[in-house]
Structure 1
Amino acid sequence: MKKEFEMSMVGELNYLLGLQVKQRKDGIFISEEKYAKNLVKRFGLDSRKHASTPMSSSVKLSSNPIDAEVDPTLYISIIGSLLYLTSSRPDIAFNVGVCARFQTAPKESHMMAVKRIIRYVNGTSDYEIWYLKDSNDCLAE
Protein backbone atom coordinates (compact mmCIF):
# COMPACT_ATOMS: atom_id res chain seq x y z
CA MET A 1 0.00 0.00 0.00
CA LYS A 2 2.94 2.33 0.65
CA LYS A 3 3.89 1.97 -3.02
CA GLU A 4 0.57 3.42 -4.20
CA PHE A 5 -0.18 6.00 -1.50
CA GLU A 6 1.92 8.48 0.40
CA MET A 7 1.72 7.37 4.02
CA SER A 8 3.24 8.49 7.27
CA MET A 9 3.30 6.75 10.61
CA VAL A 10 1.89 9.05 13.29
CA GLY A 11 1.53 6.50 16.08
CA GLU A 12 -1.00 3.99 17.26
CA LEU A 13 -4.57 4.28 15.97
CA ASN A 14 -6.94 5.58 18.66
CA TYR A 15 -9.86 7.03 16.67
CA LEU A 16 -11.18 6.20 13.21
CA LEU A 17 -14.33 7.88 11.86
CA GLY A 18 -15.64 8.44 15.37
CA LEU A 19 -14.88 4.91 16.53
CA GLN A 20 -12.61 4.52 19.53
CA VAL A 21 -9.99 1.84 18.89
CA LYS A 22 -7.97 0.11 21.60
CA GLN A 23 -5.27 -2.15 20.21
CA ARG A 24 -3.94 -5.10 22.20
CA LYS A 25 -1.52 -7.86 21.23
CA ASP A 26 -4.34 -10.41 21.03
CA GLY A 27 -7.00 -8.24 19.35
CA ILE A 28 -8.82 -4.93 19.01
CA PHE A 29 -11.60 -3.28 21.02
CA ILE A 30 -13.99 -1.02 19.07
CA SER A 31 -16.41 1.33 20.85
CA GLU A 32 -18.25 4.63 20.56
CA GLU A 33 -18.36 5.51 24.26
CA LYS A 34 -17.71 9.21 23.71
CA TYR A 35 -20.38 9.44 20.99
CA ALA A 36 -22.87 7.50 23.15
CA LYS A 37 -22.37 9.83 26.12
CA ASN A 38 -22.74 12.90 23.90
CA LEU A 39 -25.92 11.44 22.37
CA VAL A 40 -27.49 10.92 25.80
CA LYS A 41 -26.56 14.44 26.87
CA ARG A 42 -27.74 15.96 23.57
CA PHE A 43 -31.26 14.66 24.05
CA GLY A 44 -31.36 15.58 27.75
CA LEU A 45 -31.56 12.07 29.19
CA ASP A 46 -28.26 11.99 31.07
CA SER A 47 -29.91 12.51 34.44
CA ARG A 48 -32.63 9.90 33.87
CA LYS A 49 -32.63 6.38 35.30
CA HIS A 50 -30.86 3.81 33.13
CA ALA A 51 -32.92 1.14 31.35
CA SER A 52 -31.82 -2.49 31.71
CA THR A 53 -32.94 -3.42 28.18
CA PRO A 54 -33.28 -1.33 25.01
CA MET A 55 -36.98 -2.14 24.63
CA SER A 56 -39.59 -3.90 26.70
CA SER A 57 -40.67 -7.25 25.27
CA SER A 58 -44.30 -6.36 25.97
CA VAL A 59 -44.27 -3.16 23.87
CA LYS A 60 -45.92 -3.50 20.46
CA LEU A 61 -45.33 -0.38 18.38
CA SER A 62 -47.92 0.51 15.76
CA SER A 63 -49.32 3.51 13.90
CA ASN A 64 -52.15 4.07 16.37
CA PRO A 65 -54.18 7.09 15.15
CA ILE A 66 -55.39 7.80 18.69
CA ASP A 67 -51.85 8.24 20.07
CA ALA A 68 -50.58 11.85 20.28
CA GLU A 69 -48.23 13.01 17.53
CA VAL A 70 -44.72 14.26 18.31
CA ASP A 71 -42.27 16.52 16.48
CA PRO A 72 -41.08 14.44 13.50
CA THR A 73 -37.87 16.49 13.17
CA LEU A 74 -36.78 15.59 16.70
CA TYR A 75 -37.77 11.95 16.23
CA ILE A 76 -35.84 11.66 12.95
CA SER A 77 -32.82 13.30 14.58
CA ILE A 78 -32.87 10.76 17.42
CA ILE A 79 -33.28 7.85 15.01
CA GLY A 80 -30.41 9.09 12.84
CA SER A 81 -28.13 9.42 15.85
CA LEU A 82 -29.04 5.94 17.08
CA LEU A 83 -28.56 4.43 13.60
CA TYR A 84 -25.02 5.82 13.53
CA LEU A 85 -24.36 4.24 16.92
CA THR A 86 -25.45 0.78 15.71
CA SER A 87 -22.13 0.36 13.85
CA SER A 88 -20.53 -0.54 17.16
CA ARG A 89 -23.65 -1.52 19.13
CA PRO A 90 -25.38 -4.56 17.61
CA ASP A 91 -27.35 -4.88 20.88
CA ILE A 92 -29.54 -1.92 19.87
CA ALA A 93 -29.66 -2.45 16.09
CA PHE A 94 -32.93 -4.39 16.00
CA ASN A 95 -34.77 -2.01 18.33
CA VAL A 96 -33.58 1.09 16.47
CA GLY A 97 -34.68 -0.53 13.21
CA VAL A 98 -38.16 -1.15 14.62
CA CYS A 99 -38.46 2.47 15.76
CA ALA A 100 -37.12 3.77 12.42
CA ARG A 101 -40.20 2.38 10.67
CA PHE A 102 -42.31 5.14 12.20
CA GLN A 103 -40.34 8.19 11.05
CA THR A 104 -43.07 9.51 8.75
CA ALA A 105 -45.68 9.92 11.50
CA PRO A 106 -44.10 9.37 14.93
CA LYS A 107 -46.40 9.11 17.94
CA GLU A 108 -45.82 9.52 21.68
CA SER A 109 -45.39 5.74 22.11
CA HIS A 110 -42.60 5.74 19.50
CA MET A 111 -40.84 8.63 21.24
CA MET A 112 -41.05 6.80 24.55
CA ALA A 113 -39.46 3.74 22.88
CA VAL A 114 -36.49 5.67 21.46
CA LYS A 115 -35.98 7.48 24.75
CA ARG A 116 -35.81 4.09 26.46
CA ILE A 117 -33.12 3.02 23.97
CA ILE A 118 -31.16 6.16 24.83
CA ARG A 119 -31.54 5.45 28.56
CA TYR A 120 -30.23 1.92 27.88
CA VAL A 121 -27.28 3.37 25.95
CA ASN A 122 -26.62 5.69 28.89
CA GLY A 123 -26.19 2.71 31.21
CA THR A 124 -24.13 0.70 28.72
CA SER A 125 -22.03 3.40 27.02
CA ASP A 126 -18.85 1.52 27.93
CA TYR A 127 -19.81 -1.57 25.87
CA GLU A 128 -17.19 -2.55 23.31
CA ILE A 129 -16.82 -5.03 20.47
CA TRP A 130 -13.82 -7.34 20.81
CA TYR A 131 -12.13 -8.69 17.67
CA LEU A 132 -9.63 -11.44 18.35
CA LYS A 133 -6.44 -11.30 16.31
CA ASP A 134 -6.72 -14.89 15.11
CA SER A 135 -10.48 -14.91 14.37
CA ASN A 136 -12.12 -14.85 10.96
CA ASP A 137 -14.34 -11.87 11.86
CA CYS A 138 -14.04 -8.84 9.57
CA LEU A 139 -14.84 -5.20 10.25
CA ALA A 140 -15.70 -4.63 6.57
CA GLU A 141 -15.60 -6.49 3.32
Structure 2
Amino acid sequence: MYTPMVEKSKLDEDKEGKAVDPSHYRGMIGTLLYLTASRPDLQFAICMYAWYQARPTEKHLHAVKRIFRYLRGTVNWGQWYPKDSSISLTAFADADHIGCQDTRRSTSGSLQFLRDRLISWSSKRQKSDAISSTEAEYIALSGCCAQILWMRSQLSDYGLGFNKIPMYCDNKSAIALWCNNVQHSRSNHIDIRFHFIKEYVENGVIELYFVNTEYQLEDIFTKALGRERIEFLINKLGMRSFTLETLKQLTDEVDE
Protein backbone atom coordinates (compact mmCIF):
# COMPACT_ATOMS: atom_id res chain seq x y z
CA MET A 1 0.00 0.00 0.00
CA TYR A 2 1.61 3.27 -1.16
CA THR A 3 -0.69 5.83 0.49
CA PRO A 4 -2.52 5.94 3.85
CA MET A 5 -5.72 7.12 2.14
CA VAL A 6 -7.37 6.65 -1.24
CA GLU A 7 -6.50 9.71 -3.33
CA LYS A 8 -9.10 12.52 -3.09
CA SER A 9 -11.25 10.44 -0.74
CA LYS A 10 -13.48 12.06 1.90
CA LEU A 11 -15.24 10.17 4.69
CA ASP A 12 -18.62 10.96 6.22
CA GLU A 13 -20.71 9.54 9.07
CA ASP A 14 -22.05 6.81 6.75
CA LYS A 15 -25.42 6.77 8.55
CA GLU A 16 -26.75 3.94 6.38
CA GLY A 17 -23.60 1.82 6.71
CA LYS A 18 -23.30 -1.35 8.76
CA ALA A 19 -21.97 -0.60 12.25
CA VAL A 20 -18.91 -2.40 13.62
CA ASP A 21 -17.60 -2.96 17.16
CA PRO A 22 -16.73 0.55 18.43
CA SER A 23 -14.33 -0.81 21.08
CA HIS A 24 -12.24 -2.52 18.42
CA TYR A 25 -12.28 0.60 16.25
CA ARG A 26 -11.28 2.85 19.16
CA GLY A 27 -8.44 0.51 20.03
CA MET A 28 -7.08 0.76 16.49
CA ILE A 29 -7.36 4.55 16.51
CA GLY A 30 -5.74 4.77 19.94
CA THR A 31 -2.79 2.74 18.71
CA LEU A 32 -2.37 4.94 15.66
CA LEU A 33 -2.64 8.22 17.56
CA TYR A 34 0.75 7.60 19.15
CA LEU A 35 2.30 7.67 15.68
CA THR A 36 1.12 11.20 14.92
CA ALA A 37 4.00 12.48 17.09
CA SER A 38 6.63 10.96 14.80
CA ARG A 39 4.92 10.26 11.46
CA PRO A 40 3.60 13.47 9.84
CA ASP A 41 2.50 11.48 6.79
CA LEU A 42 -0.19 9.83 8.96
CA GLN A 43 -1.48 12.89 10.82
CA PHE A 44 -4.32 13.84 8.48
CA ALA A 45 -5.68 10.33 7.94
CA ILE A 46 -5.63 9.36 11.62
CA CYS A 47 -7.21 12.62 12.80
CA MET A 48 -9.98 12.29 10.21
CA TYR A 49 -10.82 8.69 11.11
CA ALA A 50 -10.74 9.50 14.83
CA TRP A 51 -13.89 11.61 14.38
CA TYR A 52 -15.98 8.48 13.76
CA GLN A 53 -15.31 6.54 16.97
CA ALA A 54 -18.86 7.00 18.30
CA ARG A 55 -20.47 4.91 15.55
CA PRO A 56 -17.88 3.40 13.20
CA THR A 57 -19.06 1.47 10.15
CA GLU A 58 -17.45 -1.05 7.85
CA LYS A 59 -16.38 1.80 5.57
CA HIS A 60 -14.53 3.51 8.41
CA LEU A 61 -12.93 0.24 9.52
CA HIS A 62 -11.75 -0.51 5.99
CA ALA A 63 -10.18 2.96 5.79
CA VAL A 64 -8.32 2.47 9.09
CA LYS A 65 -7.04 -0.94 8.00
CA ARG A 66 -5.56 0.74 4.95
CA ILE A 67 -3.32 2.78 7.28
CA PHE A 68 -2.00 -0.42 8.86
CA ARG A 69 -1.26 -1.86 5.41
CA TYR A 70 0.55 1.37 4.54
CA LEU A 71 2.55 1.11 7.77
CA ARG A 72 3.62 -2.41 6.92
CA GLY A 73 5.42 -1.08 3.86
CA THR A 74 6.84 2.03 5.56
CA VAL A 75 7.72 0.65 9.00
CA ASN A 76 11.32 1.89 8.72
CA TRP A 77 10.36 5.49 7.91
CA GLY A 78 10.82 8.38 10.33
CA GLN A 79 12.08 11.95 10.72
CA TRP A 80 15.76 12.60 10.04
CA TYR A 81 17.34 15.52 11.91
CA PRO A 82 20.82 16.25 10.53
CA LYS A 83 23.42 18.11 12.57
CA ASP A 84 23.35 21.81 11.77
CA SER A 85 24.64 24.84 13.65
CA SER A 86 22.43 27.50 12.05
CA ILE A 87 18.92 28.16 13.35
CA SER A 88 15.96 29.87 11.69
CA LEU A 89 12.18 29.56 11.91
CA THR A 90 9.91 28.95 8.92
CA ALA A 91 6.21 28.11 8.77
CA PHE A 92 3.61 26.90 6.26
CA ALA A 93 -0.18 27.15 6.58
CA ASP A 94 -2.99 25.75 4.44
CA ALA A 95 -6.68 24.88 4.59
CA ASP A 96 -9.03 22.52 2.78
CA HIS A 97 -12.25 24.51 2.39
CA ILE A 98 -15.32 22.52 3.53
CA GLY A 99 -13.15 19.44 3.96
CA CYS A 100 -15.54 17.82 6.43
CA GLN A 101 -18.52 16.24 4.66
CA ASP A 102 -20.63 16.15 7.84
CA THR A 103 -20.19 19.61 9.35
CA ARG A 104 -19.13 21.40 6.13
CA ARG A 105 -16.26 22.91 8.06
CA SER A 106 -12.74 23.37 6.76
CA THR A 107 -9.53 21.67 7.83
CA SER A 108 -6.52 23.74 8.95
CA GLY A 109 -2.99 22.47 8.58
CA SER A 110 0.28 24.01 9.72
CA LEU A 111 3.90 23.04 10.03
CA GLN A 112 6.97 24.73 11.44
CA PHE A 113 10.63 24.21 10.61
CA LEU A 114 13.78 24.97 12.59
CA ARG A 115 16.05 25.52 9.59
CA ASP A 116 15.37 22.36 7.52
CA ARG A 117 14.15 20.28 10.45
CA LEU A 118 10.43 19.76 10.86
CA ILE A 119 9.66 20.20 14.56
CA SER A 120 5.92 20.89 14.75
CA TRP A 121 2.86 20.02 12.67
CA SER A 122 -0.92 19.86 13.03
CA SER A 123 -4.13 19.00 11.19
CA LYS A 124 -7.33 20.29 12.80
CA ARG A 125 -10.95 20.79 11.88
CA GLN A 126 -11.83 24.47 12.19
CA LYS A 127 -14.26 25.36 14.98
CA SER A 128 -16.24 27.88 12.92
CA ASP A 129 -17.74 27.86 9.44
CA ALA A 130 -15.73 29.50 6.66
CA ILE A 131 -17.85 30.88 3.83
CA SER A 132 -14.94 30.99 1.38
CA SER A 133 -11.56 29.42 0.77
CA THR A 134 -9.98 32.78 1.57
CA GLU A 135 -11.58 32.82 5.01
CA ALA A 136 -10.54 29.21 5.65
CA GLU A 137 -6.93 30.05 4.76
CA TYR A 138 -7.14 33.21 6.88
CA ILE A 139 -8.11 31.16 9.94
CA ALA A 140 -5.40 28.58 9.18
CA LEU A 141 -2.79 31.35 9.03
CA SER A 142 -3.95 32.57 12.43
CA GLY A 143 -3.45 29.15 14.01
CA CYS A 144 -0.04 28.76 12.40
CA CYS A 145 0.98 32.22 13.60
CA ALA A 146 -0.04 31.42 17.19
CA GLN A 147 2.16 28.30 17.12
CA ILE A 148 5.19 30.06 15.62
CA LEU A 149 4.90 32.89 18.17
CA TRP A 150 4.83 30.36 21.01
CA MET A 151 7.94 28.68 19.60
CA ARG A 152 9.61 32.10 19.27
CA SER A 153 8.84 32.79 22.93
CA GLN A 154 10.27 29.44 24.05
CA LEU A 155 13.47 29.90 22.03
CA SER A 156 13.96 33.38 23.49
CA ASP A 157 14.63 31.67 26.85
CA TYR A 158 17.80 30.29 25.25
CA GLY A 159 18.92 33.71 24.04
CA LEU A 160 17.65 33.22 20.50
CA GLY A 161 15.73 36.06 18.89
CA PHE A 162 13.67 35.80 15.72
CA ASN A 163 12.06 38.48 13.56
CA LYS A 164 10.90 38.53 9.96
CA ILE A 165 9.82 34.90 10.33
CA PRO A 166 8.65 33.72 6.88
CA MET A 167 5.21 32.12 6.76
CA TYR A 168 4.02 30.64 3.46
CA CYS A 169 0.48 30.35 2.12
CA ASP A 170 -0.90 29.49 -1.34
CA ASN A 171 -3.86 31.91 -1.19
CA LYS A 172 -3.07 35.47 -2.31
CA SER A 173 -6.42 36.82 -1.13
CA ALA A 174 -5.81 35.59 2.42
CA ILE A 175 -2.36 37.20 2.43
CA ALA A 176 -3.88 40.45 1.17
CA LEU A 177 -6.38 40.42 4.05
CA TRP A 178 -3.60 40.00 6.59
CA CYS A 179 -1.46 42.76 5.10
CA ASN A 180 -4.30 45.23 4.49
CA ASN A 181 -4.86 47.57 7.44
CA VAL A 182 -8.26 48.64 6.15
CA GLN A 183 -11.14 46.55 7.49
CA HIS A 184 -13.62 45.83 4.70
CA SER A 185 -16.68 43.74 3.91
CA ARG A 186 -14.70 40.60 3.08
CA SER A 187 -13.33 40.28 6.61
CA ASN A 188 -15.59 42.17 9.01
CA HIS A 189 -17.59 39.02 9.84
CA ILE A 190 -14.51 36.98 10.82
CA ASP A 191 -14.08 36.54 14.57
CA ILE A 192 -11.76 39.15 16.09
CA ARG A 193 -9.56 36.45 17.62
CA PHE A 194 -8.19 35.66 14.16
CA HIS A 195 -7.04 39.23 13.48
CA PHE A 196 -4.18 39.39 16.00
CA ILE A 197 -1.60 38.38 13.39
CA LYS A 198 -1.88 41.78 11.69
CA GLU A 199 -0.01 43.43 14.56
CA TYR A 200 2.91 41.02 14.16
CA VAL A 201 2.99 41.56 10.40
CA GLU A 202 3.02 45.34 10.89
CA ASN A 203 5.82 45.07 13.48
CA GLY A 204 7.96 42.90 11.22
CA VAL A 205 7.84 39.78 13.38
CA ILE A 206 6.00 37.76 10.71
CA GLU A 207 6.44 38.06 6.94
CA LEU A 208 3.82 36.46 4.70
CA TYR A 209 4.80 34.98 1.35
CA PHE A 210 2.89 33.33 -1.45
CA VAL A 211 3.92 29.82 -2.43
CA ASN A 212 2.67 27.93 -5.47
CA THR A 213 0.39 25.02 -4.64
CA GLU A 214 2.98 22.63 -6.09
CA TYR A 215 5.39 23.58 -3.30
CA GLN A 216 2.80 23.91 -0.53
CA LEU A 217 4.17 21.37 1.95
CA GLU A 218 0.99 21.63 4.01
CA ASP A 219 -1.05 19.64 1.49
CA ILE A 220 -0.21 16.41 3.28
CA PHE A 221 -2.07 17.67 6.39
CA THR A 222 -5.29 18.73 4.65
CA LYS A 223 -5.89 16.39 1.70
CA ALA A 224 -5.85 12.74 0.63
CA LEU A 225 -3.01 12.64 -1.88
CA GLY A 226 -1.67 10.23 -4.47
CA ARG A 227 1.56 8.25 -4.24
CA GLU A 228 3.75 10.60 -6.29
CA ARG A 229 2.65 13.69 -4.36
CA ILE A 230 3.11 12.02 -0.96
CA GLU A 231 6.59 10.77 -1.84
CA PHE A 232 7.58 14.29 -2.91
CA LEU A 233 6.23 15.88 0.28
CA ILE A 234 7.60 13.41 2.83
CA ASN A 235 11.04 13.90 1.31
CA LYS A 236 10.69 17.67 1.71
CA LEU A 237 9.52 17.17 5.31
CA GLY A 238 12.72 15.31 6.14
CA MET A 239 11.37 11.77 6.34
CA ARG A 240 13.80 9.00 5.47
CA SER A 241 13.85 5.21 5.41
CA PHE A 242 16.01 4.01 8.30
CA THR A 243 17.27 0.74 6.87
CA LEU A 244 20.91 -0.13 7.56
CA GLU A 245 21.87 0.88 4.03
CA THR A 246 20.15 4.27 4.07
CA LEU A 247 21.37 5.03 7.59
CA LYS A 248 24.94 4.51 6.43
CA GLN A 249 24.32 6.84 3.48
CA LEU A 250 22.84 9.50 5.75
CA THR A 251 25.69 9.35 8.26
CA ASP A 252 28.23 9.50 5.43
CA GLU A 253 26.54 12.67 4.16
CA VAL A 254 26.81 14.22 7.63
CA ASP A 255 30.50 13.30 7.91
CA GLU A 256 31.19 14.98 4.59
The TM-score normalised by the length of structure 1 is 0.59
Bigger Rg over Cα: 2
User: What is the distance in 2 between the residues matched to 1:138 and 1:119?
Assistant: 25
Q: 1:88 maps to which residue?
A: 38
Aligned: 1:54 with 2:7:
no
Alpha-carbon distance change, 138 to 73 in structure 1, aligned in 2, over 3 angstroms:
same
Partner letter of residue 129 of structure 1? Answer: Q
User: What is the distance in 1 between the residues matched to 2:78 and 2:118?
Assistant: 15
Determine which structure has greater relative contact order: mean sequence separation of CA pairs < 8 Å that are 6+ residues apart, divided by chain length.
Answer: 1
* Distance apart, 1:118 and its partner CA: 0.6
* Distance apart, 1:66 and its partner CA: 1.3
Is there any run of 5+ residues in structure 1 with no aligned partner, and where?
1-50
Q: 1:121 maps to which residue?
A: 71
User: What is the distance in 1 between the residues matched to 2:16 and 2:119?
Assistant: 43
User: What is the distance in 2 between the residues matched to 1:115 and 1:63?
Assistant: 17
Which structure: greater helix fraction? Answer: 2
Partner letter of residue 25 of structure 2? Answer: Y
SS of match in other structure, 1:128:
strand
SS of match in other structure, 2:81:
strand
User: What is the distance in 1 between the residues matched to 2:9 and 2:16?
Assistant: 16
> RMSD value over aligned CA atoms?
1.8
Alpha-carbon distance change, 91 to 83 in structure 1, aligned in 2, over 3 angstroms:
same
* Distance apart, 1:88 and its partner CA: 1.1
Q: Residues 69-84 of structure 1 correspond to what in structure 2 (within 5 A)? A: 69-84=19-34
| Aligned residue pair count | 91
* Distance apart, 1:139 and its partner CA: 5.2
Identity across the alignment (%): 43
User: What is the distance in 1 between the residues matched to 2:118 and 2:60?
Assistant: 34
Which stretches of structure 1, 4 residues or longer, exceed 2 Å deviation after superposition?
135-141
Q: 1:104 maps to which residue?
A: 54
User: What is the distance in 2 between the residues matched to 1:100 and 1:88?
Assistant: 17
User: What is the distance in 2 between the residues matched to 1:130 and 1:56?
Assistant: 26
Superposed CA offset, 1:14-71 (max 9, x none): xxxxxxxxxxxxxxxxxxxxxxxxxxxxxxxxxxxxx110000243211122110000
SS of match in other structure, 1:94:
helix
Partner letter of residue 105 of structure 1? Answer: R
* Distance apart, 1:84 and its partner CA: 0.4
Alpha-carbon distance change, 138 to 93 in structure 1, aligned in 2, over 3 angstroms:
closer
The TM-score normalised by the length of structure 2 is 0.34
User: What is the distance in 2 between the residues matched to 1:129 and 1:58?
Assistant: 25
